[in-house]
Amino acid sequence: MAANGLLLRRARPLLGTLVSIQLQAEEIGEHDAERAAYQAFAVITAIHRAMSAHEPGSDLARLAQARPREPLAVSVHTVAVLRLAQHWSRASNHAFDAQSAGETLARSRLRPALAHCTARGARLAGLRFLDACTVLPEGPMAIDLGGIAKGYAVDQAVAELCASGVASGLVNAGGDLRAFGPRCWPIELQHPIVSARTRPLLRLRDAAIASSVASTDTGFVPTRRRGARWTGSTVLAPDCATADALTKWALQDAEPSLQLRRTLRAHGARLWRT
């Protein structure tokens, strides 16, 4: 795909969706912009492979077969996302729950990487971090990091693009987006049920946005609520991992809790429900 003027666009299937990168190329030139996009996709690919619940050789598969209190070497990205999962689980009083999601998917046999851990596994809260690439699990654990890994991958791609000298761009991983630099990007929200329906939301500049859909009958976003009047949540935040996690938290209650509202304010985030 050729550059459109000074705006370079590239896309690849990753993270279970289509990931696209758009960036302004005038300051560094088309050749260096191509290289920057390539390197950003390389980072996303590494995250995809490490935290795939479908790949039998992923870090999640190895965690599902972990021996009790035996150090396990994993990707630096996996360690970072596991730390985030622990943080958001504590902050939300387990409304954000990567372990519940993982165990649901393991029992459903929908995720081959988790198939070895169909009983209730070791606690995510009990997972210890020995260094940047080593964890100490209490035992086998079925963890689904899909609720935050996509947002984390977007953030890491943005960091790589910035390090390559790109002044402005947009990374979009299936609706988890982050814009950086001075350019404003028009954003439309997709209806959570009718995908062909969209509505303009805002012009995104130097911020991130993520959306999630509630489900009470699948493992996509396990939710404790029943009979709520809305089916999806969208969060605008400074980074995409935070936006991603907050959308999952927001889906757990019919109305946002006091703690969620405080957390949104603390992160300078905004919540929409659909």
Q: How far is CA 222 from CA 4, 149, 215, 233, in A?
A: 41, 16, 6, 14
**Residues 147, 96, 77, 135, CA torsion sign:** negative
pLDDT in tens, 190-219: 655 555 555 666 789 999 999 988 764 444
Please state, in angstroms and rounded to a whole number, the distance separating the CA atoms of residues 164 and 78.
23
Mean pLDDT of 77-105: 91
Q: Which residues contact 14 (CB under 8 A, 6 or more apart)?
A: 41, 44, 45, 48, 153, 173
Mean pLDDT of 91-119: 80
Please state, in angstroms and rounded to a whole number, the distance separating the CA atoms of residues 95 and 92.
5
Place of tokens 């999640």: 60
pLDDT of residue 195: 53
pLDDT in tens, 26-58: 888 999 999 999 999 999 999 999 999 888 889
Confidence check: pLDDT of 158 > 90: yes
pLDDT in tens, 235-248: 999 999 999 999 99
In the chain, the domains with their CATH numbers are 7-48+148-273 (3.10.520.10), 59-136 (no CATH)
Confidence check: pLDDT of 4 > 60: no
